[in-house]
Chain A
Protein backbone atom coordinates (compact mmCIF):
# COMPACT_ATOMS: atom_id res chain seq x y z
CA UNK A 1 0.00 0.00 0.00
CA UNK A 2 2.59 2.50 -1.07
CA UNK A 3 0.22 4.75 -2.98
CA UNK A 4 -0.92 7.90 -1.31
CA UNK A 5 -4.59 8.71 -1.74
CA UNK A 6 -7.40 10.33 0.23
CA UNK A 7 -10.63 8.64 1.29
CA UNK A 8 -12.49 10.90 -1.16
CA UNK A 9 -10.29 9.72 -4.00
CA UNK A 10 -10.82 6.14 -2.90
CA UNK A 11 -14.57 6.72 -3.06
CA UNK A 12 -14.53 8.37 -6.49
CA UNK A 13 -12.30 5.71 -8.03
CA UNK A 14 -14.37 2.89 -6.55
CA UNK A 15 -17.61 4.50 -7.73
CA UNK A 16 -16.13 4.98 -11.21
CA UNK A 17 -15.20 1.30 -11.37
CA UNK A 18 -18.83 0.32 -10.83
CA UNK A 19 -19.59 1.83 -14.26
CA UNK A 20 -18.76 -0.03 -17.45
CA UNK A 21 -18.73 0.56 -21.18
CA UNK A 22 -22.13 0.05 -22.72
CA UNK A 23 -24.03 1.48 -19.76
CA UNK A 24 -26.38 4.40 -20.22
CA UNK A 25 -26.03 6.37 -17.02
CA UNK A 26 -28.32 9.09 -15.73
CA UNK A 27 -25.89 11.18 -13.68
CA UNK A 28 -26.60 13.17 -10.53
CA UNK A 29 -24.52 16.26 -9.80
CA UNK A 30 -21.60 16.20 -7.34
CA UNK A 31 -19.97 12.89 -6.42
CA UNK A 32 -21.83 10.83 -9.07
CA UNK A 33 -20.80 13.30 -11.78
CA UNK A 34 -17.16 13.13 -10.72
CA UNK A 35 -17.18 9.33 -10.67
CA UNK A 36 -19.06 9.00 -13.97
CA UNK A 37 -16.64 11.27 -15.80
CA UNK A 38 -13.67 9.51 -14.23
CA UNK A 39 -15.06 6.23 -15.59
CA UNK A 40 -15.42 7.79 -19.03
CA UNK A 41 -11.84 9.11 -18.94
CA UNK A 42 -10.38 5.76 -17.80
CA UNK A 43 -11.84 2.30 -18.38
CA UNK A 44 -15.24 3.17 -19.89
CA UNK A 45 -14.66 5.62 -22.77
CA UNK A 46 -17.89 4.58 -24.48
CA UNK A 47 -20.23 4.97 -21.52
CA UNK A 48 -23.25 7.13 -22.30
CA UNK A 49 -23.71 9.93 -19.76
CA UNK A 50 -27.03 11.71 -19.51
CA UNK A 51 -27.84 14.68 -17.28
CA UNK A 52 -31.39 15.66 -16.39
CA UNK A 53 -31.01 19.05 -18.09
CA UNK A 54 -31.54 17.18 -21.35
CA UNK A 55 -28.01 16.51 -22.54
CA UNK A 56 -27.68 13.10 -24.20
CA UNK A 57 -24.23 11.51 -24.53
CA UNK A 58 -22.32 14.37 -23.01
CA UNK A 59 -18.50 14.37 -22.77
CA UNK A 60 -17.48 17.32 -20.61
CA UNK A 61 -13.78 18.16 -20.36
CA UNK A 62 -14.33 19.67 -16.90
CA UNK A 63 -16.84 18.80 -14.20
CA UNK A 64 -19.95 20.97 -14.39
CA UNK A 65 -20.96 22.95 -11.30
CA UNK A 66 -24.64 22.56 -12.16
CA UNK A 67 -26.45 19.89 -14.18
CA UNK A 68 -27.00 22.50 -16.88
CA UNK A 69 -23.59 24.11 -17.47
CA UNK A 70 -22.91 25.04 -21.10
CA UNK A 71 -20.07 22.52 -21.20
CA UNK A 72 -22.61 19.66 -20.96
CA UNK A 73 -24.73 20.94 -23.83
CA UNK A 74 -21.82 21.83 -26.11
CA UNK A 75 -20.14 18.43 -25.69
CA UNK A 76 -23.37 16.42 -26.03
CA UNK A 77 -24.61 14.46 -29.03
CA UNK A 78 -27.87 16.35 -28.72
CA UNK A 79 -29.95 18.18 -26.13
CA UNK A 80 -33.64 17.49 -25.58
CA UNK A 81 -36.27 19.28 -23.51
CA UNK A 82 -36.79 18.39 -19.86
CA UNK A 83 -40.20 16.71 -20.34
CA UNK A 84 -38.76 14.67 -23.20
CA UNK A 85 -35.82 13.67 -20.99
CA UNK A 86 -37.99 12.38 -18.16
CA UNK A 87 -40.81 10.91 -20.25
CA UNK A 88 -39.13 9.34 -23.27
CA UNK A 89 -35.58 8.65 -22.14
CA UNK A 90 -36.00 7.84 -18.46
CA UNK A 91 -39.60 6.58 -18.13
CA UNK A 92 -39.38 5.08 -21.59
CA UNK A 93 -36.78 2.62 -20.32
CA UNK A 94 -33.53 3.76 -21.94
CA UNK A 95 -31.49 4.25 -18.76
CA UNK A 96 -29.51 1.30 -17.43
CA UNK A 97 -28.07 3.00 -14.34
CA UNK A 98 -29.24 5.94 -12.27
CA UNK A 99 -26.30 7.31 -10.30
CA UNK A 100 -27.36 9.27 -7.22
CA UNK A 101 -25.99 11.05 -4.19
CA UNK A 102 -28.03 11.86 -1.09
CA UNK A 103 -28.15 13.72 2.23
CA UNK A 104 -29.53 10.78 4.23
CA UNK A 105 -29.74 7.06 3.48
CA UNK A 106 -31.29 4.37 5.66
CA UNK A 107 -30.82 0.61 6.05
CA UNK A 108 -33.19 -0.11 3.15
CA UNK A 109 -31.36 2.37 0.91
CA UNK A 110 -34.19 4.89 0.99
CA UNK A 111 -32.94 8.42 0.32
CA UNK A 112 -33.87 11.70 1.98
CA UNK A 113 -32.99 14.93 0.21
CA UNK A 114 -36.06 16.84 1.43
CA UNK A 115 -35.56 17.86 5.05
CA UNK A 116 -34.46 17.00 8.56
CA UNK A 117 -37.17 17.23 11.19
CA UNK A 118 -40.90 17.79 10.72
CA UNK A 119 -42.22 18.64 7.25
CA UNK A 120 -44.18 21.76 8.31
CA UNK A 121 -41.47 22.95 10.73
CA UNK A 122 -38.17 21.73 9.30
CA UNK A 123 -35.00 21.81 11.34
CA UNK A 124 -32.94 21.79 8.15
CA UNK A 125 -34.56 22.29 4.78
CA UNK A 126 -32.74 20.41 1.98
CA UNK A 127 -33.16 21.04 -1.78
CA UNK A 128 -35.80 18.37 -2.43
CA UNK A 129 -36.32 15.45 -4.75
CA UNK A 130 -35.23 16.81 -8.14
CA UNK A 131 -34.98 13.95 -10.59
CA UNK A 132 -34.22 11.26 -8.02
CA UNK A 133 -37.69 9.85 -7.17
CA UNK A 134 -38.28 8.69 -10.75
CA UNK A 135 -34.63 7.95 -11.60
CA UNK A 136 -34.68 5.46 -8.71
CA UNK A 137 -37.69 3.58 -10.05
CA UNK A 138 -37.42 3.98 -13.82
CA UNK A 139 -33.70 3.23 -14.27
CA UNK A 140 -32.92 -0.50 -14.51
CA UNK A 141 -30.73 -0.22 -11.40
CA UNK A 142 -29.37 2.47 -9.10
CA UNK A 143 -25.88 3.16 -7.82
CA UNK A 144 -25.47 5.43 -4.82
CA UNK A 145 -22.34 7.23 -3.70
CA UNK A 146 -22.24 9.19 -0.45
CA UNK A 147 -19.81 9.99 2.38
CA UNK A 148 -20.20 7.71 5.38
CA UNK A 149 -21.22 9.29 8.70
CA UNK A 150 -23.83 8.78 11.41
CA UNK A 151 -25.61 11.90 10.26
CA UNK A 152 -25.98 10.43 6.78
CA UNK A 153 -26.40 6.72 7.49
CA UNK A 154 -29.53 6.60 9.65
CA UNK A 155 -31.74 3.68 10.64
CA UNK A 156 -34.84 5.33 9.12
CA UNK A 157 -34.83 8.43 6.95
CA UNK A 158 -36.71 11.46 8.37
CA UNK A 159 -38.51 11.83 5.05
CA UNK A 160 -38.60 9.26 2.29
CA UNK A 161 -37.95 11.32 -0.83
CA UNK A 162 -36.68 8.55 -3.07
CA UNK A 163 -37.42 4.90 -2.59
CA UNK A 164 -34.73 2.30 -2.14
CA UNK A 165 -36.73 -0.65 -0.87
CA UNK A 166 -39.23 1.20 1.34
CA UNK A 167 -39.66 1.30 5.12
CA UNK A 168 -40.06 -2.49 5.25
CA UNK A 169 -37.80 -3.53 2.38
CA UNK A 170 -40.78 -4.58 0.27
CA UNK A 171 -41.72 -1.42 -1.65
CA UNK A 172 -40.74 -2.88 -5.03
CA UNK A 173 -42.44 -6.25 -4.53
CA UNK A 174 -45.19 -6.86 -7.09
CA UNK A 175 -44.86 -3.37 -8.60
CA UNK A 176 -44.91 -3.68 -12.40
CA UNK A 177 -42.43 -1.82 -14.61
CA UNK A 178 -40.06 -0.89 -11.82
CA UNK A 179 -36.26 -1.12 -11.80
CA UNK A 180 -34.24 -3.34 -9.48
CA UNK A 181 -33.41 -0.38 -7.29
CA UNK A 182 -30.11 0.24 -5.50
CA UNK A 183 -27.61 -2.54 -6.19
CA UNK A 184 -24.51 -0.90 -4.72
CA UNK A 185 -23.71 1.88 -2.26
CA UNK A 186 -20.17 3.24 -2.42
CA UNK A 187 -18.88 5.33 0.48
CA UNK A 188 -15.49 6.65 1.54
CA UNK A 189 -15.21 3.65 3.90
CA UNK A 190 -16.73 0.65 2.17
CA UNK A 191 -19.08 -0.91 -0.37
CA UNK A 192 -22.54 -2.02 0.74
CA UNK A 193 -25.07 -4.10 -1.18
CA UNK A 194 -28.67 -5.00 -0.34
CA UNK A 195 -29.32 -8.45 1.12
CA UNK A 196 -31.04 -10.47 -1.64
CA UNK A 197 -33.90 -11.41 0.69
CA UNK A 198 -34.41 -8.64 3.26
CA UNK A 199 -32.94 -5.81 1.13
CA UNK A 200 -31.09 -4.44 4.16
CA UNK A 201 -27.71 -2.94 3.24
CA UNK A 202 -24.78 -5.21 4.11
CA UNK A 203 -21.08 -4.32 4.00
CA UNK A 204 -19.27 -6.43 1.38
CA UNK A 205 -15.91 -4.71 0.97
CA UNK A 206 -13.87 -2.48 3.24
CA UNK A 207 -11.58 0.09 1.65
CA UNK A 208 -7.85 -0.24 2.41
CA UNK A 209 -6.92 0.81 5.97
CA UNK A 210 -10.59 0.89 7.06
CA UNK A 211 -11.71 -1.32 9.95
CA UNK A 212 -15.10 -2.83 10.80
CA UNK A 213 -15.20 -0.47 13.79
CA UNK A 214 -14.77 2.55 11.51
CA UNK A 215 -17.87 1.50 9.59
CA UNK A 216 -19.85 0.60 12.73
CA UNK A 217 -19.02 3.98 14.26
CA UNK A 218 -20.16 5.84 11.15
CA UNK A 219 -23.44 3.94 10.71
CA UNK A 220 -26.66 4.74 12.57
CA UNK A 221 -27.94 1.18 12.72
CA UNK A 222 -26.41 -2.18 13.67
CA UNK A 223 -24.82 -2.71 10.33
CA UNK A 224 -24.21 -6.27 9.12
CA UNK A 225 -21.08 -7.51 7.38
CA UNK A 226 -20.93 -10.18 4.69
CA UNK A 227 -19.51 -13.56 5.74
CA UNK A 228 -16.59 -13.10 3.39
CA UNK A 229 -15.51 -9.53 3.81
CA UNK A 230 -13.04 -8.40 1.17
CA UNK A 231 -10.79 -5.39 0.72
CA UNK A 232 -11.55 -2.95 -2.09
CA UNK A 233 -8.60 -2.68 -4.48
CA UNK A 234 -6.70 0.58 -3.99
CA UNK A 235 -6.72 3.19 -6.76
CA UNK A 236 -4.03 2.75 -9.40
CA UNK A 237 -1.50 5.43 -10.26
CA UNK A 238 -3.23 5.94 -13.60
CA UNK A 239 -6.68 6.39 -12.02
CA UNK A 240 -5.38 8.89 -9.50
CA UNK A 241 -3.57 10.83 -12.19
CA UNK A 242 -6.70 11.17 -14.33
CA UNK A 243 -8.88 12.08 -11.33
CA UNK A 244 -6.45 14.72 -10.07
CA UNK A 245 -6.06 16.27 -13.52
CA UNK A 246 -9.84 16.37 -13.95
CA UNK A 247 -10.27 18.12 -10.62
CA UNK A 248 -7.43 20.56 -11.28
CA UNK A 249 -8.88 21.44 -14.71
CA UNK A 250 -12.28 21.95 -13.12
CA UNK A 251 -10.97 24.21 -10.35
CA UNK A 252 -8.94 26.31 -12.78
CA UNK A 253 -11.89 26.66 -15.15
CA UNK A 254 -14.40 27.71 -12.50
CA UNK A 255 -11.93 30.16 -10.95
CA UNK A 256 -11.28 31.82 -14.32
CA UNK A 257 -14.96 32.57 -14.95
CA UNK A 258 -15.61 36.25 -14.29
Chain B
Protein backbone atom coordinates (compact mmCIF):
# COMPACT_ATOMS: atom_id res chain seq x y z
CA UNK B 1 0.00 0.00 0.00
CA UNK B 2 1.19 3.50 -0.79
CA UNK B 3 2.33 5.70 2.07
CA UNK B 4 0.72 9.13 2.38
CA UNK B 5 3.54 11.63 2.85
CA UNK B 6 4.16 15.34 2.56
CA UNK B 7 6.06 16.42 -0.53
CA UNK B 8 9.11 17.22 1.58
CA UNK B 9 9.09 13.79 3.23
CA UNK B 10 8.49 11.89 -0.02
CA UNK B 11 11.34 13.58 -1.91
CA UNK B 12 13.67 13.32 1.07
CA UNK B 13 12.89 9.65 1.67
CA UNK B 14 12.72 8.29 -1.86
CA UNK B 15 15.01 10.41 -4.06
CA UNK B 16 18.71 10.08 -3.33
CA UNK B 17 21.72 11.84 -4.80
CA UNK B 18 22.93 9.88 -7.82
CA UNK B 19 19.54 8.25 -8.52
CA UNK B 20 18.05 7.71 -11.93
CA UNK B 21 14.83 9.69 -11.78
CA UNK B 22 11.99 9.82 -14.30
CA UNK B 23 9.55 12.69 -13.86
CA UNK B 24 6.94 12.11 -16.53
CA UNK B 25 3.83 13.76 -17.91
CA UNK B 26 3.64 14.17 -21.69
CA UNK B 27 2.81 17.90 -21.96
CA UNK B 28 0.13 17.38 -19.31
CA UNK B 29 0.24 16.72 -15.55
CA UNK B 30 3.92 17.64 -15.35
CA UNK B 31 5.10 17.24 -11.73
CA UNK B 32 6.41 20.79 -11.21
CA UNK B 33 5.82 20.91 -7.45
CA UNK B 34 7.91 17.77 -6.99
CA UNK B 35 10.63 19.11 -9.27
CA UNK B 36 10.82 22.27 -7.21
CA UNK B 37 11.12 20.25 -4.02
CA UNK B 38 14.02 18.32 -5.58
CA UNK B 39 15.68 21.67 -6.31
CA UNK B 40 15.05 22.93 -2.74
CA UNK B 41 16.53 19.76 -1.25
CA UNK B 42 19.59 20.27 -3.50
CA UNK B 43 19.60 16.74 -4.87
CA UNK B 44 22.72 16.23 -6.99
CA UNK B 45 24.14 13.95 -9.70
CA UNK B 46 20.74 12.77 -10.83
CA UNK B 47 20.28 10.98 -14.11
CA UNK B 48 17.08 12.60 -15.30
CA UNK B 49 14.80 10.74 -17.69
CA UNK B 50 11.92 12.39 -19.45
CA UNK B 51 10.58 12.21 -23.02
CA UNK B 52 9.94 15.95 -23.20
CA UNK B 53 12.24 17.70 -20.70
CA UNK B 54 10.11 20.88 -20.74
CA UNK B 55 10.50 23.71 -18.23
CA UNK B 56 10.69 21.49 -15.14
CA UNK B 57 13.96 19.89 -16.27
CA UNK B 58 15.24 23.22 -17.58
CA UNK B 59 14.83 24.46 -14.00
CA UNK B 60 16.38 21.37 -12.40
CA UNK B 61 19.33 21.36 -14.83
CA UNK B 62 19.89 25.08 -14.31
CA UNK B 63 19.77 24.50 -10.54
CA UNK B 64 22.55 21.92 -10.81
CA UNK B 65 20.60 18.74 -9.97
CA UNK B 66 21.51 16.74 -13.08
CA UNK B 67 24.60 14.97 -14.35
CA UNK B 68 22.88 13.17 -17.20
CA UNK B 69 19.72 13.57 -19.24
CA UNK B 70 17.87 10.95 -21.25
CA UNK B 71 15.21 12.45 -23.49
CA UNK B 72 13.58 12.49 -26.89
CA UNK B 73 12.53 16.13 -27.37
CA UNK B 74 14.04 18.93 -25.31
CA UNK B 75 12.33 22.19 -26.09
CA UNK B 76 9.76 24.68 -24.87
CA UNK B 77 6.79 23.50 -26.97
CA UNK B 78 5.64 26.11 -29.47
CA UNK B 79 8.05 28.68 -28.01
CA UNK B 80 11.63 27.58 -28.68
CA UNK B 81 14.71 26.41 -26.83
CA UNK B 82 15.25 25.33 -23.27
CA UNK B 83 17.97 27.87 -22.52
CA UNK B 84 19.21 26.28 -19.29
CA UNK B 85 19.56 22.90 -21.03
CA UNK B 86 21.40 24.59 -23.89
CA UNK B 87 23.69 26.48 -21.51
CA UNK B 88 24.61 23.18 -19.85
CA UNK B 89 25.23 21.45 -23.17
CA UNK B 90 26.91 24.30 -25.01
CA UNK B 91 28.85 25.93 -22.12
CA UNK B 92 28.83 23.45 -19.24
CA UNK B 93 26.89 25.79 -16.90
CA UNK B 94 26.26 25.23 -14.01
CA UNK B 95 27.87 21.88 -14.78
CA UNK B 96 28.30 19.88 -17.95
CA UNK B 97 25.78 17.13 -18.48
CA UNK B 98 25.84 13.97 -20.52
CA UNK B 99 22.95 13.25 -22.82
CA UNK B 100 21.37 10.11 -24.10
CA UNK B 101 19.03 10.93 -26.89
CA UNK B 102 16.17 8.90 -28.37
CA UNK B 103 13.13 9.39 -30.58
CA UNK B 104 9.68 9.46 -28.94
CA UNK B 105 8.74 6.08 -30.37
CA UNK B 106 11.88 4.43 -29.01
CA UNK B 107 11.60 6.01 -25.59
CA UNK B 108 7.91 5.11 -25.29
CA UNK B 109 8.82 1.54 -26.19
CA UNK B 110 11.73 1.58 -23.70
CA UNK B 111 9.39 2.57 -20.84
CA UNK B 112 6.85 0.01 -21.98
CA UNK B 113 9.55 -2.69 -21.92
CA UNK B 114 10.63 -1.51 -18.47
CA UNK B 115 7.07 -1.87 -17.20
CA UNK B 116 6.91 -5.32 -18.79
CA UNK B 117 10.10 -6.40 -17.02
CA UNK B 118 12.01 -6.86 -20.27
CA UNK B 119 15.64 -5.86 -20.90
CA UNK B 120 14.90 -4.36 -24.32
CA UNK B 121 12.24 -3.05 -26.61
CA UNK B 122 11.94 -3.76 -30.32
CA UNK B 123 10.56 -1.29 -32.82
CA UNK B 124 10.58 -0.44 -36.49
CA UNK B 125 12.60 2.68 -35.96
CA UNK B 126 15.71 4.80 -36.52
CA UNK B 127 15.92 3.84 -40.21
CA UNK B 128 18.55 6.09 -41.81
CA UNK B 129 18.93 8.27 -38.69
CA UNK B 130 22.26 9.39 -37.17
CA UNK B 131 20.86 8.90 -33.64
CA UNK B 132 22.15 5.29 -33.32
CA UNK B 133 25.68 6.67 -33.95
CA UNK B 134 25.53 8.82 -30.82
CA UNK B 135 23.47 6.62 -28.49
CA UNK B 136 24.97 3.23 -27.60
CA UNK B 137 21.63 2.05 -26.24
CA UNK B 138 20.28 1.77 -29.78
CA UNK B 139 21.18 -1.40 -31.69
CA UNK B 140 19.72 -3.29 -34.62
CA UNK B 141 18.60 -6.90 -34.53
CA UNK B 142 17.25 -9.34 -37.05
CA UNK B 143 13.74 -10.68 -36.52
CA UNK B 144 14.10 -14.44 -35.97
CA UNK B 145 10.86 -15.08 -37.86
CA UNK B 146 10.98 -12.74 -40.86
CA UNK B 147 14.60 -11.61 -41.03
CA UNK B 148 13.51 -7.97 -40.91
CA UNK B 149 16.07 -5.56 -39.46
CA UNK B 150 14.54 -3.87 -36.42
CA UNK B 151 15.76 -1.37 -33.85
CA UNK B 152 16.35 -2.57 -30.29
CA UNK B 153 16.67 -0.19 -27.38
CA UNK B 154 17.57 -0.86 -23.77
CA UNK B 155 14.52 -0.67 -21.53
CA UNK B 156 14.14 2.16 -19.03
CA UNK B 157 14.24 1.11 -15.35
CA UNK B 158 14.37 4.23 -13.16
CA UNK B 159 15.24 4.10 -9.47
CA UNK B 160 12.28 6.36 -8.91
CA UNK B 161 9.47 7.73 -11.05
CA UNK B 162 7.53 10.84 -10.11
CA UNK B 163 4.19 11.72 -11.72
CA UNK B 164 1.27 14.01 -11.02
CA UNK B 165 -2.35 12.87 -11.30
CA UNK B 166 -5.82 14.28 -10.70
CA UNK B 167 -6.95 12.28 -7.68
CA UNK B 168 -6.18 9.59 -5.17
CA UNK B 169 -8.69 7.90 -2.90
CA UNK B 170 -8.05 7.38 0.80
CA UNK B 171 -6.40 4.02 0.16
CA UNK B 172 -3.95 5.63 -2.25
CA UNK B 173 -5.40 4.37 -5.53
CA UNK B 174 -4.72 6.95 -8.24
CA UNK B 175 -6.79 8.10 -11.23
CA UNK B 176 -5.12 9.70 -14.27
CA UNK B 177 -7.33 11.34 -16.90
CA UNK B 178 -6.83 13.12 -20.22
CA UNK B 179 -3.49 12.89 -21.96
CA UNK B 180 -2.13 9.98 -19.95
CA UNK B 181 1.18 9.97 -21.79
CA UNK B 182 3.69 7.47 -20.46
CA UNK B 183 2.89 7.81 -16.75
CA UNK B 184 1.56 4.31 -16.10
CA UNK B 185 4.53 2.69 -17.83
CA UNK B 186 6.99 5.01 -16.04
CA UNK B 187 5.58 4.11 -12.61
CA UNK B 188 5.51 0.39 -13.31
CA UNK B 189 9.05 0.44 -14.77
CA UNK B 190 10.53 2.04 -11.64
CA UNK B 191 11.77 0.54 -8.37
CA UNK B 192 9.98 3.29 -6.40
CA UNK B 193 7.35 5.85 -7.28
CA UNK B 194 5.95 9.10 -5.94
CA UNK B 195 2.55 10.28 -7.18
CA UNK B 196 1.45 13.82 -6.39
CA UNK B 197 -2.28 14.51 -6.79
CA UNK B 198 -4.58 17.50 -6.99
CA UNK B 199 -6.80 16.11 -4.23
CA UNK B 200 -7.56 13.12 -2.10
CA UNK B 201 -11.19 12.03 -2.32
CA UNK B 202 -13.49 9.37 -0.88
CA UNK B 203 -14.33 7.85 -4.26
CA UNK B 204 -12.33 8.10 -7.51
CA UNK B 205 -15.52 7.76 -9.58
CA UNK B 206 -13.42 6.04 -12.21
CA UNK B 207 -14.99 4.47 -15.27
CA UNK B 208 -14.46 0.73 -15.68
CA UNK B 209 -11.62 1.17 -18.18
CA UNK B 210 -10.10 4.29 -16.63
CA UNK B 211 -6.35 4.65 -16.14
CA UNK B 212 -6.05 3.73 -12.47
CA UNK B 213 -2.85 2.87 -10.64
CA UNK B 214 -3.59 0.70 -7.60
CA UNK B 215 -2.21 1.79 -4.26
CA UNK B 216 -0.10 -1.37 -3.99
CA UNK B 217 1.77 -0.43 -7.18
CA UNK B 218 2.81 3.00 -5.82
CA UNK B 219 5.35 3.84 -3.12
CA UNK B 220 4.11 7.23 -1.93
CA UNK B 221 1.11 9.48 -2.54
CA UNK B 222 1.33 13.21 -1.88
CA UNK B 223 -1.46 15.76 -1.95
CA UNK B 224 -0.12 18.73 -3.94
CA UNK B 225 -2.87 21.02 -5.26
CA UNK B 226 -1.79 22.85 -8.43
CA UNK B 227 1.21 20.54 -8.38
CA UNK B 228 1.39 20.51 -12.19
CA UNK B 229 1.20 24.29 -12.72
CA UNK B 230 2.23 25.96 -15.09
CA UNK B 231 1.44 22.72 -16.92
CA UNK B 232 -2.18 21.71 -16.50
CA UNK B 233 -4.44 19.15 -14.90
CA UNK B 234 -7.45 18.34 -17.04
CA UNK B 235 -10.62 19.13 -15.08
CA UNK B 236 -8.75 21.37 -12.60
CA UNK B 237 -6.86 24.16 -14.40
CA UNK B 238 -5.55 25.10 -17.85
CA UNK B 239 -2.01 25.18 -19.12
CA UNK B 240 -0.48 28.57 -18.35
CA UNK B 241 0.68 29.21 -21.91
CA UNK B 242 1.58 32.81 -21.04
CA UNK B 243 4.12 31.56 -18.50
CA UNK B 244 5.58 29.10 -21.01
CA UNK B 245 6.21 32.09 -23.28
CA UNK B 246 7.59 34.21 -20.42
CA UNK B 247 9.98 31.42 -19.49
CA UNK B 248 11.89 32.09 -22.70
CA UNK B 249 13.11 35.45 -21.40
CA UNK B 250 13.47 34.32 -17.76
CA UNK B 251 15.68 31.38 -18.69
CA UNK B 252 17.69 33.11 -21.42
CA UNK B 253 20.15 34.71 -18.98
CA UNK B 254 21.73 33.12 -15.91
CA UNK B 255 20.95 36.16 -13.71
CA UNK B 256 17.25 36.32 -14.45
CA UNK B 257 17.01 32.56 -14.08
CA UNK B 258 18.71 32.56 -10.68
CA UNK B 259 16.57 35.44 -9.45
CA UNK B 260 13.46 33.57 -10.57
CA UNK B 261 14.63 30.38 -8.87
CA UNK B 262 15.37 32.16 -5.60
CA UNK B 263 12.00 33.91 -5.48
CA UNK B 264 9.79 31.15 -6.82
CA UNK B 265 11.45 27.97 -5.58
CA UNK B 266 13.91 28.50 -2.73
CA UNK B 267 11.89 31.13 -0.87
CA UNK B 268 8.73 29.05 -1.18
CA UNK B 269 8.29 26.06 1.06
CA UNK B 270 6.80 22.79 -0.07
CA UNK B 271 3.04 22.76 -0.25
- Write the B166-184 contact mask toward A (1 if CB under 8 angstroms, else 0): 0000000000001111101
Contact between A137 and B127, CB atoms less than 8 A apart = yes
B32 to chain A, nearest CB (A): 14
Q: Which A residues lie within 8 Å of B28 (CB)?
A: 53, 68, 70, 73
| Closest partner residue, chain A, to B150 (CB atom) | A177
A37 within 8 A of B: no
Query: Which of A64, A73, A82, A119 lies at the interface centre, i.e. has the most chain B CB atoms within 10 A of its CB?
Result: A82
- Please judge, given known A-B contacts A131-B104, A134-B105, A258-B240, whether A83 and B123 are in contact too, CB under 8 Å: no
Q: Are A166 and B128 in contact (CB under 8 A)?
A: yes
| CB-based contact A130/B104 at 8 Å | yes
Residue-by-residue, is A56-96 near B (CB-CB < 8 Å gives 1, otherwise 0)?
00000000111111101110000101110111001100000
Q: Is the CB of A70 within 8 A of B104?
A: no
B78 and A30: CB pair below 8 A?
yes
Q: Is B271 on the interface with A (CB-CB < 8 A)?
A: no
B75 within 8 A of A: yes
- Asked if residues B77 and A65 are in contact (CB atoms below 8 Å), the reply is yes
- A16 to B264, alpha carbons, bound, how many Å? 42
With CB as the reference atom, state the residue of chain A lying closest to B101.
A128
Query: Does B238 have its Cβ within 8 Å of any Cβ on chain A?
Result: yes
**Min distance, Cβ A128 to any Cβ of chain B, angstroms:** 5
Contact flag A53-B105 (CB < 8 Å), given A68-B179, A257-B239? no
A134 adjacent to B104 (CB under 8 Å): yes
**Cross-chain contact B90 with A122 (CB below 8 angstroms):** yes
Alpha-carbon distance A161/B131, docked complex (angstroms): 6
Q: Is B109 an interface residue (CB 8 A)?
A: yes
Contact in complex: B123, A134 (CB < 8 Å) = yes
A209 to B104: give the CA distance in the assembly, Å.
40
Q: How many residues in B have their beta carbons less than 8 Å from beta carbons of A?
A: 59
Cβ–Cβ contact A129 & B73, under 8 A: yes
The contact of A134 among B51, B75, B90, B124, by CB within 8 Å, is: B124
B127 and A65 contact, CB distance less than 8 A: no
Most chain B beta-carbon contacts within 10 A, residue among A66, A85, A91, A255 = A66
A64 cross-chain contacts in B, Cβ below 8 A: 78
Our pick among B73, B105, B127, B234 for the contact of A178 (Cβ within 8 Å) is: B127
Q: Cβ of B185 < 8 Å from any Cβ of A?
A: yes
Cross-chain contact A53 with B179 (CB below 8 angstroms): yes
CB closest chain-B residue, reference A110: B128
Which of A29, A54, A133, A160 contacts B26 (CB under 8 A)?
A54
The segment out of B33-41, B197-205, B241-249 that lies at the interface is: B241-249
Query: In the docked arrangement, what's the CA distance between A90 and B125, Å?
Result: 11
Q: Does A127 contact B (CB under 8 A)?
A: yes
Which residues of chain B have C-beta atoms less than 8 A from A82's C-beta?
26, 51, 104, 108, 181-182
- What string of 1s and 0s marks CB contacts (under 8 Å) between B210-245 and chain A? 010000000000000000001010100011111111
- Report yes or no: A69 in contact with B127, Cβ–Cβ below 8 A: no
Contact of B129 with A67 in the complex, beta carbons under 8 Å: no
Inter-chain contact A177/B27, CB cutoff 8 Å:
no
Question: A124 — which chain B residues lie within 8 A by C-beta?
Answer: 86, 90
Q: Are B124 and A130 in contact (CB under 8 A)?
A: no
Q: Does A176 contact B (CB under 8 A)?
A: yes
Q: CB-CB < 8 A to A114: which residues of B? A: 101, 130-131
Check if A163 is an interface residue, CB within 8 A of chain B. yes
Q: Is A171 a contact partner of B128 (Cβ separation < 8 A)?
A: yes
Q: Are B89 and A122 in contact (CB under 8 A)?
A: yes
User: Bound state CA distance, A87 and B153, in angstroms?
Assistant: 14
CB neighbours of B124 from chain A (8 A): 91, 134, 137-138, 177
Is B86 a contact partner of A65 (Cβ separation < 8 A)?
A: no
CB pair A132–B103 under 8 Å, yes or no, is yes
Nearest neighbor of A171 in chain B, beta-carbon distance: B128
Further contacts, 14 of them, CB under 8 A, given A55-B179, A66-B239, A87-B109: A54-B181, A70-B239, A73-B178, A73-B234, A79-B178, A82-B26, A83-B185, A86-B109, A114-B131, A125-B89, A128-B101, A161-B131, A258-B230, A258-B243
Mind listing 26 A-B residue pairs with CB under 8 Å? A29-B78, A54-B26, A65-B241, A69-B239, A70-B178, A73-B234, A74-B234, A86-B105, A114-B101, A122-B89, A123-B90, A124-B90, A127-B74, A128-B71, A128-B74, A128-B75, A129-B73, A129-B129, A134-B104, A134-B126, A137-B125, A138-B105, A159-B130, A160-B128, A176-B148, A255-B242
